[in-house]
Structure 1
């Protein structure tokens, strides 16, 4: 499946490197009221496909949780003569996801990431108003492309001792097939399921 990536059963083409915002309303009833708008849960997920702009650095929060922040280079089709432009969305991953990303990726690793939109206010010294920081919190990820293209993989522990000699393939027999192994079915053909 060269040219495609897979994330939780969803297939996405490699050229489709921009985010897809998938919104869904969960119609399950809750205990408050059947007629209330509060019984519908809305959520937003984004799927990104791109390459790491630099190696991920694993850090730890004040509580001791593993955390990493990184950016992906994702191409977005603009249309016409402009073609594509590259966007650099920011991501944050926590705990086990952060450790797996930091240990198994390197600069240029091709990833397919499922994330959730988050934002927060940040005070900058010398600025009158706080700025809004937008980043995507990683929910899951998959490697794309081949291992040589940047996705780190476990190395083979030992090299094979020797490569066995290849035997030439058998010649194909294009003669009339034998039907000796088949037997005639008794009964009505209408009883068959096909």
Structure 2
């Protein structure tokens, strides 16, 4: 099972459990910028799946993949409601306390067993100023990174466009060349 398929499995399981209690369940990149943060605030309350990579195991293509489920709330009625919830919206604690037992010891068919590792309060002054609470639940899942089967469809065959930006560190910080190549199909 690919990283994308496992990510989708996390999303599908969470959507089935939380139903309409969350505005969204979707994936996020591991690195955030200010636009990502603004977007997740608009989608709160939500649960966001982040693939965090993984360390190689036994000098093979097996990894101990890391997954983080981010509970994000943005109650207008204050920080306590963001953590505890209120009569109108679910709180970050409720999201995390539902997600941890939902995923811990869950078997991913053909991959392995999801293991709960930790909960982290991702509080910062900037997050608080924006009126949000964010908590992360970290899980691990052993998995194998596999090559496409011989004679099968190569996943790279599906690309229609290749984009490239070349940058030899010019003084003005702008790329020296950019190109888009449309591949024949």
Q: Same fold (TM over 0.5)?
A: no
Class of the TM-score when normalised by the shorter of the 2 chains: under 0.3
Return the index of the structure with the highest Cα Rg: 1
TM-score scaled to structure 2, two decimals? 0.25
The structure with more helix, counted as a fraction of residues: 2
TM-score (norm 1): 0.25
